Chains A and B, each alone.
Chain A
Amino acid sequence: MRTDSRFIGRPSHRQDARAIVTGRAEFIDDLKLRGMLYARVLRSPFAHARVVAVDTEKAEAVPGVKAVLTHKNVPDWKAGTPFHIRVLDSKVRFVGDGVALAAAESERAAEEALEAVHVEYEPLEAVFDVDEALAGDAPQLYEAFPGNVVPGGFPLYGPDCLTGIRLGDVEQGFREADAVGEGTYKYETVANPLPLEPPGVIAHWEGPDRLTIWAATQSASWHRFVMLPSLGFPDIRAIATQCGGSFGSKNYSLMPCFYAAALARAAGRPVKMCFSKEEQFGAYTLRPGSRFKGRIGIRKDGTVTAVSGSWLFDTGACSDIPQAQVAVGCGELQLMLRCANWDLTGTIVLTNRPPSGVVRGFGGQELESALLPALFEALEKAAIDPVDFFRKNYVKPGDAYLWRNGKPYVDRGVDYSEALERGAETFGWHRKWKGWLVPTRVDGQTRIGVGVSVHGNADVGEDVSEAHVRLTPDGRAVVHACVSESGSGQRSSLCRMAPEGRQLPLDRVGVSPPDTLVNPFEFGLVGSRGTWAVGGAVISAAEKARAALLARAAPLLGAGEEELDTTDGRVYVRGRSDRGLSWSRVMGIVRTCSGSARYEEDFTVPNFLALFVEVEVDTGTGKAAVREVLAATDVGRIIDPQALEGQLRGCFGAAGLDTALFEETVLDRTTGRILNGNMIDYKWRTFRDLPGFRNVILETPMPTHRFGAVGVGEISTSPGPSAVLMAVSNALGVRMTGYPLTPQRILEAL
């Protein structure tokens, strides 16, 4: 155990733990404002239709109803990339698309009002498959996007934003290949991250141009800086409530914000818009669909010589920020496949199914899960052990890669080979791996197989974080950072990382509420950036606050600042603890000592995580089940062991590893309706289905911040689907090519 902190790496309780276990933590639906109204949405039964007429007269007469809106009278706000998503439109593009809104004194009154709305639809032909959507005669979702293709390139990532990867000479690369994997592979389970708490916001116009939004979110500031241009630049104050899980999906809640803000403006009262579970299933955020058509060439020594092909990214009925997901996905693929020759093109395609949006894994999980089956074919032909392959091809310190903005970066992080090898040893890989399409063991009709996959991300250092730290005379520190709590324990981790965590007991360090009005800018808890980016800003701010304190104490103690130290609210001459003063004596009681700092984005320290899985397949029933999972990674330094454990164990659900087996949004391809939009038919793990789980976590100091740590939360899900696909293929002795690996698919393969 290193000794520079009392708290880093040691178990201690989350600061909000008591509030959570006693039921006092306030989630969005627990909040009630004076005069607040409740919103409901009337939704389309058609996957694609024109709204020919809407009559709201009877709805407006329902007692308690304060506002009814249709496409004819909603504000002309627009969102999406590029702008095309309206609050309500004269056309609906998926089953569940909004048609009318009502705000009333109770949810029931709002529902009654919507039942009284009369709508005439003109149904249109719908399209649910990306290849069909790209065909010349396909129904068109938007006039602005001919061919159902949304332009690539995310404006925030600059003019060279990755829309694919084009490097070197792929023809030459394929000539040099000893083995080629080729085909069309789909990762199109469009699973639902489905946090237990449905999404919700409250909107309140405090003046014509002043809007306050309370939101269940992992990133409060997105409700300000993303919503500002969409809403015509009012002054938005965004406040995050305790968030009941997000997994990317509640990074921001676009449609709930649109609906609540429009109704609140029309009614002149605060409006709460909490989606039902059914709406969370069918009208919020699904994982994007991903289809790879292409080829990968490798040499016998495992060198990747060329990758070429087309990546079709199915964003559903609208385009939130898929361009960013394509860019990050292309970046992440390069981290695991060192290759000189690329010709990969991402195409964002619209279809008439409920929309996709931000989900944990952000493009990378989608691309890798669809593309790796092609790689596995090449590895099988060349008889290369996948652990050897990943160890050779994962980016190493000194290697270059293009990141999301199209610019090249050189890895200055750590070599993860040891994490991979230690993981393989602990898992028993070398004993269990019998070769491609060879089961580890056969026991009657049960066949055991193993698989492995990796994922990395350079977004751990993405974007800007600002923090302010204030030391108070009563011997406390307050971290001002706009950080919400969606389950990772990040707010408590920041209290450990502020150097005052070394000098003050943990219960004397607090974090300001996640409110954009009272805090400096914070991009949010995305891309596993909390540990490095947010932590970096907080640590620097705390160091500056400490320096201000020591500068003030120096003349009082007759010593140089560099001779001073501070512990438990007292400043003293180092080595002479009798020569000291309390913080209140140094500051006086009407002053504080503070420091501010900003973290600027840095894409040069990627993280990495390998998942080893062992599956068993019953060849009689076709049921595949995960027996054991091992996660191997290096986090530089463990900040909070319990929180880290929780993040890694989160690899299964939330549209993660289990999308390989059973997590799937099942769409009726005739009507566009979701067939399993409830928590029984949408399969997920219960207490009784948990496989064995182990971690191998190394702590090689990273060149990040004082504690040398990086985050790893986001990527624990991403290697799961392809690792399970490999394991099931090996168990069966048949190359499996599609997700999810349902009993039906397995029996067909046999």
Chain B
Amino acid sequence: MKQLLTLRVNGITHELSIDPWRTLNEVLRDELNLTGTKLGCGSGDCGACTVLVDGRSVSSCLTLAASVDGKEIATVEGLAPSGEQLHPVQESFVENGAIQCGFCTAGMEMSAVYLLGRNNAPDEEQIRAGLSGNLCRCTGYNQIVEAVAAAAEKMKPS
């Protein structure tokens, strides 16, 4: 039987009727057309599907949509809502060449946003630890570490 739920995604409220076994990843991608969040492994190993739920980073492939009823979801599409001004994390990924194939990028960005929300001046070790749940196969790790450090700099309260 379908279940009614309310998801607030990137500040917009959605009333949905969905099967209770559907994951947050499926609902974001298939129902809300928010395909910026990727599905990598489907088993919580790679981090490509990372989103924020009430400010905490989660693997959307392991999260049942019904379990986040009424919560605030943030996805990559919400980082630069106007499409004009990029979020400092996005800007730094572009400037530091922290993208190769781009499939891990959205998950990396969401993990970076989560990290910087808790620690606005992480050192290199803390950045590596904060992103270690996100895998990259092109081995752009170093550029990503540099990008997150640069984003922290940009986001520093002046």
A659 CB-CB contact with B under 8 Å: no
Interface residues of A in 482-525 (CB under 8 A from B): 486-489
Q: Does A29 touch B at the CB level, under 8 Å?
A: yes
Does any Cβ of A come within 8 Å of B6's Cβ? Answer: no
CA distance A671 to B86 in the complex (A): 52
Mark contacts of A634-673 with chain B using CB atoms, 8 A cut-off: 1 yes-contact digit, 0 otherwise: 0000000011011001111110000000000000000000
Knowing A195-B103, A197-B101, A693-B142, the reply to whether A277 touches B80 (Cβ < 8 A) is: no
Q: Which of B101-146 contact A (CB under 8 A)?
A: 101-106, 109, 127-129, 131-132, 134-145
Is the C-beta of B72 less than 8 angstroms from some C-beta in chain A? no
Q: In the bound complex, what is the Cα–Cα distance between A679 and B75 (angstroms)?
A: 23
Task: Give which listed residue, B43, B83, B138, contacts A277 with CB less than 8 A.
Answer: B43
Q: A685-B139, A687-B132, A688-B129 are in contact. Are A196 and B42 (CB under 8 A)?
A: no
Whole-angstrom CA separation of A680 from B46 in the bound complex: 9
CB neighbours (8 Å) of B35 from chain A are 23, 26-27, 29-30
B94 partner, pick from A17, A244, A645, A690, beta carbons under 8 A? A17
Measured CA separation A489–B99 after assembly (Å):
9
Q: Nearest residue in A to B92 (C-beta to C-beta)?
A: A21
Tell me if A352 counts as interface (CB < 8 A to partner B).
no
A276 within 8 Å of B (CB atoms): yes
**Residues in A684-735 with C-beta less than 8 Å from chain B:** 684-688, 690, 693
Q: Are A196 and B48 neighbours in the complex by a CB distance under 8 Å?
A: yes
Report B56 CB to chain A, min CB distance, Å. 20
A245 contacts the other chain (Cβ, under 8 Å)?
yes
Closest chain B residue to A218 by CB distance? B101
Name B40's contact: one of A21, A277, A687, A690 (CB within 8 Å). Answer: A277
What's the nearest-Cβ distance from chain B to residue A651, in Å?
Answer: 8
For B105, the chain A residues whose CB sits under 8 A away are 20-21
Considering the complex, give the chain B residue whose CB is closest to the CB of A654: B137
Query: Which residues of the other chain, A, contact B93 by a CB distance below 8 angstroms?
Result: 17, 21
Residues in B whose Cβ lies below 8 Å from that of A646: 97, 100, 138-140, 143
Does B41 interact with chain A (Cβ within 8 Å)?
Answer: yes
Whether B138 lies near A242 (C-beta < 8 A) is no
The answer to whether A652 touches B104 (Cβ under 8 A) is no
Q: Is A337 an interface residue (CB 8 A)?
A: no
Query: How far apart are the CA atoms of A297 and B104 in the complex, in Å?
Result: 47
Does A14 interact with chain B (Cβ within 8 Å)? yes
Determine which of B43, B90, B109, B145 lies in contact with A687 in the assembled complex, contact meaning CB atoms within 8 Å.
B145
| Complex interface bits, A226-268 against B, C-beta within 8 A gives 1, otherwise 0 | 0000000000000000111111000000000000000000000
A621 CB-CB contact with B under 8 Å = no
Q: Closest residue to B39 on the A side, CB-wise? A: A29
B129 — which chain A residues lie within 8 A by C-beta?
A: 687-688
B142 touches A197 (CB 8 A): no
Closest residue to B94 on the A side, CB-wise? A17
> Are B86 and A18 touching (Cβ within 8 A)?
yes
CB within 8 A of A20: which of B45, B48, B75, B99?
Answer: B99
Within 56-112 of B, Cβ neighbours of A (below 8 Å) are at: 75-77, 79-80, 83, 86, 90, 93-95, 97, 99-106, 109
Say if the beta carbon of A146 comes within 8 Å of chain B.
Answer: no
Q: Tell me, yes or no, whether A13 is within 8 Å of chain B by CB.
A: yes
Question: Which of A198, A244, A246 meets B102, CB within 8 Å?
Answer: A244
* CA A63 to CA B55, docked complex, whole Å: 39
Residues of A near B94 (CB, < 8 A) are 13-14, 17-18, 21
A684 touching B43 in the complex, CB below 8 Å, given contacts A21-B93, A245-B103: no
**Residues from chain A with Cβ under 8 Å of B34 in the complex:** 23
Could you tell me if A243 and B101 are in contact, using CB atoms closer than 8 angstroms? yes
Q: Choose from A276, A680, A684 the contact partner of B137 (Cβ within 8 Å).
A: A684
Q: Closest residue of chain A to B33, judged by CB?
A: A32
Q: Which chain A positions have C-beta within 8 A of B140? A: 646, 649
Contacts of B86 in A (CB 8 A): 18, 21-22
Decide: B135 and A16 in contact? CB cutoff 8 A.
Answer: no
> A678 at the A/B interface (Cβ < 8 Å)?
yes
A649 to B136 Cα, complex, angstroms = 12
- Complex: A642 Cα to B98 Cα, angstroms: 9
- For A280, the closest partner residue in chain B by CB is B41
Interface presence of A168 (CB below 8 A) = no
With A11-B97, A196-B136, A277-B43 as contacts: A20 and B102 at CB distance below 8 Å: yes
Is A23 within 8 A of B137, CB to CB?
no
**A225 CA to B33 CA, complexed, in Å:** 33
CB distance from B35 to the nearest CB of A (A): 4
Please report the C-alpha to C-alpha distance between residue A243 and residue B35 in the assembled complex, in whole angstroms. Answer: 15
Given A22-B90, A678-B45, residue A690 in contact with residue B101 (CB < 8 A): no
Q: Is the CB of B132 within 8 A of A688?
A: yes
Q: Tell whether, in the assembled complex, residue B142 and residue A690 are in contact, meaning their CB atoms are under 8 Å apart.
A: yes
Q: How many B residues, CB 8 Å from partner?
A: 52
Closest B-chain residue to A649, C-beta based?
B139
Are B75 and A23 interface neighbours, CB within 8 A? yes
Q: Is A559 an interface residue (CB 8 A)?
A: no
**Is the C-beta of A24 less than 8 angstroms from some C-beta in chain B?**
yes
Question: Bound complex: CA of A643 vs CA of B100, how far in Å?
Answer: 8
Closest A residue by C-beta to B111: A687
B100 touching A22, Cβ below 8 Å: no
Contacts of B100 in A (CB 8 A): 245, 487-489, 646, 650
Residue among A27, A246, A653, A686 with max Cβ neighbours from chain B (10 Å): A686
Report if A632 contacts B (CB, 8 A).
no
The answer, yes or no, to whether A383 is at the interface (CB within 8 Å) is no
Contact of B38 with A21 in the complex, beta carbons under 8 Å: no
- Chain A minimum-CB-distance residue to B19: A108
A22 lies within 8 A of B102 (CB): no
Min distance, Cβ A17 to any Cβ of chain B, angstroms: 4
Assess whether A400 is interfacial by the CB under 8 Å rule.
Answer: no
- Which B residues lie within 8 Å of A17 (CB)? 93-94, 99
| Binary per-residue interface labels of chain A (76-104) against chain B in the complex, 1 for a CB within 8 Å, 0 otherwise | 00000000000000000000000000000
Q: Does A25 contact B (CB under 8 A)?
A: yes
Given contacts A14-B99, A487-B101, A642-B97, contact A678 B43 (CB under 8 A): yes
The distance from the CB of B129 to the nearest CB of chain A, in whole angstroms, is 7
Q: Does A194 contact B (CB under 8 A)?
A: yes
Q: Are B77 and A245 in contact (CB under 8 A)?
A: no
A30 contact set on B, CB distance < 8 A? 29, 35
Which of these, B45, B75, B99, B103, contacts A27 with CB under 8 Å?
B103
A311-332 with Cβ < 8 A to chain B: none
Bound form: Cα–Cα A11–B42 in Å: 36
Return chain B residues, CB-CB under 8 Å to A27: 35, 38, 103
Q: How far, in whole Å, are A230 and B104 apart by their CA atoms in the complex?
A: 34
Contacts of B136 in A (CB 8 A): 196
Contact A684 B45 (CB under 8 A): no
The complex places the Cα of A655 from the Cα of B79 at a distance, in Å, of 34
**B78 to nearest A CB, angstroms?**
9
Interface centre among B99, B102, B141 (most CB of A within 10 A): B102
Bound CA–CA A711/B145 (angstroms)? 26
Chain A residues closer than 8 Å to B80, beta-carbon distance: 22
Residues of B within 8 A of A195 (CB): 101, 103, 137
Interface residues, chain A, CB within 8 Å of chain B? 11, 13-14, 16-18, 20-27, 29-30, 194-198, 242-247, 276-277, 486-489, 642-643, 645-646, 649-654, 678-680, 684-688, 690, 693
Could you jot down 7 A-B contacts, CB within 8 Å? A196-B101, A244-B38, A245-B138, A649-B140, A651-B139, A679-B43, A688-B128
Beyond the given A14-B94, A645-B143, A687-B141, please list 6 additional residue pairs across the A-B interface where CB-CB is below 8 A.
A21-B99, A23-B35, A29-B35, A646-B143, A679-B45, A687-B145
**10 A-B pairs closest in CB distance:** A23-B36, A244-B103, A642-B97, A487-B101, A679-B45, A20-B102, A487-B100, A30-B35, A23-B76, A245-B101
